[in-house]
Structure formats: C-alpha cells, structure tokens
Amino acid sequence: MKKYLLIGVSAFVLGAGSMAYFSQQALASAEPRAKTYRMLGLFGDVLDTVEHQYVTEVDDTKLIQSAIDGMLTSLDPHSGYLDAESFAEMRDQTRGEYGGLGIEVTSEDGVVKVISPMDGTPAAAAGIKAGDYITAVNGESVLGLSVNDAVKQMRGKPGETVTLTIAREKSDPFDVKLVREVIKPKSATAKMDGDYGVLRVSAFNEKTTDEAEAAFNDLRAKNPKMKGLILDLRNNPGGLLDQAVGVADLFLEGGEIVSQRGRDPRDVERYNARPGDITHGMPMVVLINSGTASAAEIVSGALQDRKRAQLVGITSFGKGSVQTVIPLRGGMDGALKLTTARYFTPSGRSIQKTGITPDLEVASTRDEAQSIANKSFQFSEASFRNALNADEGKVRAGAHEPAEEPPEGFDVKKDFQLARAEDVLHYGSVAATPKMPKPTARLAEVLGGSKAKVAAVKPPGTDK
C-alpha cells in the first residue's frame, strides 16, 4: 500500500502544468491497449469461424485451452497451461507419488522430448535416454500435441502396457514397451563405493531433503570411517526450489544458496543456509551432466561457488528460470505455469542456457565425448528456439574437445565419471589430481556430398 500511496501523492504535487504530459502518456498507453482489444476481437472471429465451418464439430473448451497453452508456450519452453486434471497430477507428482512411466519431458517444435528418465522407474529400466524424442504412443502420433496432452496418453492404470515410439540420434526409430506403475520414486539413496559414500539425488520433490539427510546419516552410521562424499546429481531434472535450498543447506554452514530476480530489478529474493553441515566438513565432489537441470543446478552452483565441493562431469542442462504455478479459481479452471524469475548462484551467475561448468570435465563414454565434440548432438536448454537468454548475455560453450574420456580398455561396465570423482577426493582437489591423456578432437565434418563422416582433427602445431 505504501508504494501506491507515494505514487498518488507525487502525481498530485507535480501540479496542473504536467497534465498535458500525462494526457499524452495516457493516449500513448491507450494505443497498445486498443490493439490488444482488436486482437482479442480477431480471436473471437477465428473461434466463431472454426465453430461454424470446420469439417467436424469442435469442442470449444479444448480449443480455448489449446489457445491459452499456445500463448504461454510461445513465451518460453517452461511456461504453459494446466487444465484441472493436469494440475491435480502435477500436485501428486511434487508430493512424490503418481501414476505413469517415470519420464520428465518437454516440447520442442511440437515434438515431445525427454529431459531425463527417473531412477527406478519403467522408463529408466527400458533404457529411455535424455534427448530421445517420443513420436507416438501406442501407435498414435503425438507430433504437434502439447506436452500435457502427450503425457495424458502415456499415463493410465498401473499394470497396463504402453508402447512408445522413440527417435534417437544416429538410430532408426524403434518401439519400446513399458508397463505403467504407480511411480513412487525414492528421490535420495546412498551407498558406499570403496572408502567413499555416494549420495544419489534423482529429483527434488516434497520429500527430498528429508530423504537425503536420512540416507546420509544412515550410511555414515554404518560406515564411520567414510573418507569423503560424492553427491550424484546426474540426470536429475530438478523440481521444487525449496527442496534444492534444503539439500544445499545440508552441506553449508551459512551464507547465500541462491537468489531469484524477477522483471523488476528491485524484486530480489535470497535464500540462505542455516548453521550446521551434516557431514562436519567431509570432503565433497558433485557429479553433474547434461541431464542435471533446474533445482539440481541450484545445488551444484551453490556448492561450487561456496567452495564446498568441486564438480566433475560435463556441463549441466542450463535451466536457470523459475516457474510459478498460479491456480485459476482455486484450481477448478486449472493453473498457469508461468516463468516469473531467473535464479542466480551465490557469485551472481545466471546459468540460463549456459549451464554449470564442472571443475573437471569428464565424459562418461567415448560416444558422449564425441557428442561434446559435435555441437549438433548436444541436448540442453540452449537447444530450445524460444529459451530465455542468460541475463549477462553469455552463451553456452560450443563444440570442443572434452578434457577427459574413458581410456582404451576401460571396463564399460564401470562408471568412469564416478572413478574420477573418487580420484579428486583421494588427491584432495582437481588441481592435484593427475590428468588423463587428453583425447584428440573429433569434430564432425561433412565429406563427399551428403554423407556425414567423423574426421580426426589434430590440434594446432602437431605433425600432419
């Protein structure tokens, strides 16, 4: 109320001499409003034409809902409209229990694209990968459908079989059969790997902070000689902001974790850690990859900026925006999922599109190293045509030679990124860790017409 009152008093003090100016301003502001009213009239005309002339009868409600969703999705990939049913399903999902296949998806140019499969779900067991396109469900095309409509087709009664048609880079389309389950993903689990604990956090729902703390405490109680902790956030698609803050808070003694900033430069909200590190200063490494997104990037960025942990893996997804869910008529008319702010790490970094860069870049496989060397094969926030830009105008790193990849003869059944994270804990830092032989860049080149081949590119200064 104080802001509105001050504005009113200021306008009065300016006096009559300023009235002409304000009249001009009012006219100027009325022009775009008149244009808006005209466009709304156009929308009504189009709806009326479709109702009376389309080849079959149409459902007005579905048409208007689709129009609302189209308006919102044109803003950025993460804004959208949720009808009442979808809104209820979203609330079930954030509570940590829902029916489905266990896939985090988005839409790209009318195609459903996988952000990440969730641990311990039918999708993960079937080998669905981040970056896969879902083109059909049970033989029916989902091309051109909104994410909400496509998800409705994938969800159903537990125990029923659903067939997804998958399009994947460098592969012919193929079908995958999955059995729907009641998804109750345990978002945090822990295990020992040699001398080190591995805390796996696969998502951020309402239970994540409590589950992560309980998992770590149980592991430490059983292994009091644990020498370090690896926080595995790979393929974590994110979730609730407060849970990201809660998990980061587990390992920090205080200070800022993240800030979010809206359209108004004065609209800044900061989230700080409370005293108390559950590990009591135990050395930490965080594992990230291109499937590490949103809330998982908040945790990664906070621990990196605060010098609490070093990061190993490859650059994260780069989703640095905050969505607010705004119920309509208490949820009876669904809800808007609207991007309302960007978030920033403690040092002031916006990772929107650019992602979190690890302290030690390590590809998990040689194929992944090749995808890093060929920009067109990467899947990230920057892949979306209408993604928000980073606030500082930074751009995501393009194709480049990855720092490390599994050497010849490395057991493919083993986890190379995890092994390198353990090396960092063993030697005390990334700087002190002996480096692997640097791989030769293999940038993709088009040779001989339309056939794409991969040619070895020698670094400058080497013998030809």
Residues with a known catalytic role: 294, 305, 319
| C-alpha 374 chain-centroid distance | 21
CA 128 from centroid of its chain's CA atoms: 17
249 near 187, Cβ under 8 Å?
no
Q: List CB contacts of 222: < 8 A, sequence separation 6 or more.
A: none
CA distance 250 to 240: 16
**Token reading at 82:** 């949720």
Cβ–Cβ < 8 Å for 78, 323: yes
What is the DSSP code (8-state) at residue 429?
S
Q: Tally the C-alpha atoms within 13 A of residue 315's C-alpha that lie toward its C-beta.
A: 26
Q: DSSP secondary-structure letter at 362?
A: B
Neighbours of 449 (CB within 10 A): 6
Distance CA 200, CA 216 (A): 10
Structure token pair of residue 86 = 């979808």
DSSP state for residue 436 in the 8-state scheme: P
Residue showing tokens 């606030």: 391
Can you list the pairs that 117-121 forms with residues at least 24 positions away whose Cβ atoms lie under 8 Å? 117/235, 118/183, 118/185, 118/202, 118/203, 118/237, 119/185, 119/186, 119/189, 119/200, 119/202, 119/235, 120/185, 120/186, 120/202, 121/181, 121/183, 121/185
Task: Give the start-end residues of each E strand in 159-227.
Answer: 161-167, 174-179, 181-183, 188-193, 196-201
Nearest to 132 by CA among 241, 257, 235: 235
The answer to whether 458 and 464 have CB atoms below 8 angstroms apart is: yes
| Neighbour tally for 427: CB within 10 Å | 12
